[in-house]
Structure 1
Amino acid sequence: MYQALKPSRSEFLPIRQLTCHLRSWGQPDPVQAPLVLVHGWMDVSASWQFVVDAMAAERWILAPDWRGFGLTKAEGPPPDSYWFPDYMADLDALLDAVVGERPVDLVGHSMGGNVAMIYAGVRPQRIRRLINLEGFGMPETRPSQAPGRYAQWLDEIKALRRGDKALAGYSSPDGVAQRLMKTNPRLPQDKADWLARQWAAPNAQGKWEILGDAAHKVVSAQLFRVDETLELYRRISAPVLSVTASDDSLSIWWKGRFTLAQYRERIQAVPDLHNAVVNDAGHMMHHDQPAELARLIEGFIAQ
């Protein structure tokens, strides 16, 4: 099994009716900006371990579990759906609690990349450097889709209550590891075995459950507005590095409804934009090529 070279520390903080799990490496530095890593949908903060291990320099690194993922838990009953602005508000509250007004270097993957981009447009003064790892956003929508989207949201909440959206359980962490490798064929066995024990945990019956709330599978009630997104991108004052993988995930996911070319056109709205590609990698580039990604991150934030 993979052995972490730089073991993380865990702490739990009261944030916005949450008990927020925060993973950290290194020690606070009065000069160097904190490096904040935010994970994607159905992922966990431990997923950054391979990248952290590959970094050449020691620094203070913070990685939270988003609400409803990993070890972050809501106070009281879990919600029956999640709202995207809450992720941004959670990040804002977490930075208030841990780093105060200090600007941070922010890295976001996938859903976390989307949150990071929006947050940087709303709170530009809090971001020194921003690295977006395939935080693509969503296909463009039209107002005429709103009635159907609201109806879909209501129907999926009912399905969640019936248990139709429950996440699969596994008899052992080996089953979780096999699932991870099936999803990402580039993931080697040793890393899959290690990740499985971070990505899932045994329940009272001994079944290994994914550490993600099934309510995350409920569709958003809100349509994705490209015009709003572009306005937020224009407000970002930090230099931004947009990193994509050599595999074109968008063509697989959206079948032409949203393309890599459209994403690249959108992100041109960022005033200070830089681009990079990680070769021999898919969407989970932090698992596929952690050393190359660590090199890109360290090089960009050192500028």
Structure 2
Amino acid sequence: MSGARSGTGLSAPPGSVPEGFMLVGGIRVRYRDEGAREKPPVLLLHGIGRSLEDWEGLYARLAPDHRVISVDLPGFGLSERTEGRYSMESMARFVLAALDTLGEHRPLHVVGNSLGGAVAMKISALEPQRVRSLVLANSAGFGREVTLALRILAVRPVGRRLMKDKSRKAAYRTERALFHDKRFVTEERLDHAQEVGRNPAYDDVLLAVARHLGTFRGVRRRWRTQLIRTVAAQHKPMLVVWGDEDRVLPASHLDHARAVFPHAEFHLFEKCGHMPQIEREEEFDALVRAFIGGIDTRN
């Protein structure tokens, strides 16, 4: 996939927010590209049904020493959807195509939350030379257990009926499930959640991804077992973090991560839900910067 780029330029000065849209294979994709492009690149990948806003606390901290790139995955956030079947591979290859469009071909530090963590691992599995390190935050792929809401989405036609509710109350329920502390469910986040939910592709893509990932019984074993085995064999620098009060993917999955990635670094955030990059912003940022900085210094 390739395409002509539009929106703000790559050479925006520090402190600005280089955010806009680009074309990737004819698909209009929202992206953010911050920091000096000659610096080591970092890629940020959000979770299912989410957007690049989930990384708001990380951009300014990483940008002085890195080129920081994030995209709304196709069909999520404000990005258009791709045609054809959605799969872990299709999403990973689309991200790689977006990086090609931005002219970024160097090995990346890839930071992924939830679905974004699984996509990060899939990128490493497909193109290992393009991934320098992995930071996995409450990542999919480490167990069958997952919130009932996502299991229901995998069931036709129940999932479709569930998606019809676009009310503020429904948005609140979804956002509330992500955080241990309800104070993080702000009016601004609810506004954005409803905006994202109005993306014409949102319902179809969310349902397609949910059905690819799992069934009513939970996350499918086949894709996660193969993916974990491939990435474990690469022995790349890795940081795996979790929130101990995650209601989406339980913190018990961290135990599996410890078993399959014994070489990795680990951290469990107390009184924290599914999005430690938001709920434990300063601690999360410090961990990520120390981890990435150590790799940059050694190489």
Deviation of 1:284 after TM superposition, in Å, equals: 1.3
Q: Is the 8 A contact 2:41 2:66 kept in 1?
A: yes
From 154, 166, 169, the equivalent of 2:166 is 169
1:234 alignment partner, SS class: helix
Deviation of 1:194 after TM superposition, in Å, equals: 2.6
Gaps of 5+ in 2: 1-14, 146-152, 215-219, 295-299
Residues 278/288 of structure 1: CA separation in 2 closer, same or farther (3 Å cut) = same
Residues 186/212 of structure 1: CA separation in 2 closer, same or farther (3 Å cut) = farther
Residues 281/100 of structure 1: CA separation in 2 closer, same or farther (3 Å cut) = same
- Output the CA distance in 2 between the equivalents of 1:212 and 1:192: 25
- Output the CA distance in 1 between the equivalents of 2:171 and 2:60: 23
Partner residue, 1:213: 202
Deviation of 1:119 after TM superposition, in Å, equals: 1.4
Deviation of 1:159 after TM superposition, in Å, equals: 6.0
Deviation of 1:7 after TM superposition, in Å, equals: 6.0
1:275 is aligned to 2:272: no
From 61, 68, 75, the equivalent of 1:68 is 75
From 250, 272, 275, the equivalent of 1:284 is 275
Within-5 A mapping of 1:162-241: 163-170=160-167, 176=171, 180-181=175-176, 183-188=178-183, 192-201=186-195, 209=198, 213-215=202-204, 216-218=206-208, 219-220=211-212, 223-225=220-222, 226-241=224-239
Deviation of 1:126 after TM superposition, in Å, equals: 0.9
Provide Cα deviations, 1:99-152, integer angstroms capped at 9, x if missing partner. Answer: 4321111100010001111211221211122111121316469xxxxxxxxxx9
TM-score for the superposition, normalised by structure 2: 0.74
Provide Cα deviations, 1:44-68, integer angstroms capped at 9, x if missing partner. Answer: 1011112335559453211100111
Within-5 A mapping of 1:106-185: 106-137=110-141, 139=143, 156=156, 163-170=160-167, 176=171, 180-181=175-176, 183-185=178-180
Residues 211/284 of structure 1: CA separation in 2 closer, same or farther (3 Å cut) = farther
1:9 is aligned to 2:18: yes
Residues 297/100 of structure 1: CA separation in 2 closer, same or farther (3 Å cut) = same
Provide Cα deviations, 1:126-184, integer angstroms capped at 9, x if missing partner. Answer: 1122111121316469xxxxxxxxxx97x72x667xx524342236xx98457524652
Q: Is the 8 A contact 2:42 2:109 kept in 1?
A: yes
Residues 118/236 of structure 1: CA separation in 2 closer, same or farther (3 Å cut) = farther
Query: Looking at CA atoms only, which structure, 1 or 2, has the larger radius of gyration?
Result: 1
Residues 119/175 of structure 1: CA separation in 2 closer, same or farther (3 Å cut) = closer
1:25 is aligned to 2:61: no
TM-score for the superposition, normalised by structure 1: 0.73
Deviation of 1:37 after TM superposition, in Å, equals: 0.4
- Output the CA distance in 1 between the equivalents of 2:118 and 2:213: 17
Deviation of 1:294 after TM superposition, in Å, equals: 0.6
Deviation of 1:24 after TM superposition, in Å, equals: 2.6
Gaps of 5+ in 1: 1-5, 142-151, 203-207
2:191 alignment partner, SS class: helix
2:119 alignment partner, SS class: helix
- Output the CA distance in 1 between the equivalents of 2:276 and 2:213: 29
What amino acid does structure 2 have at the position aligned with 1:27?
Answer: A
Q: CA RMSD in A?
A: 3.5
- Output the CA distance in 1 between the equivalents of 2:269 and 2:87: 31
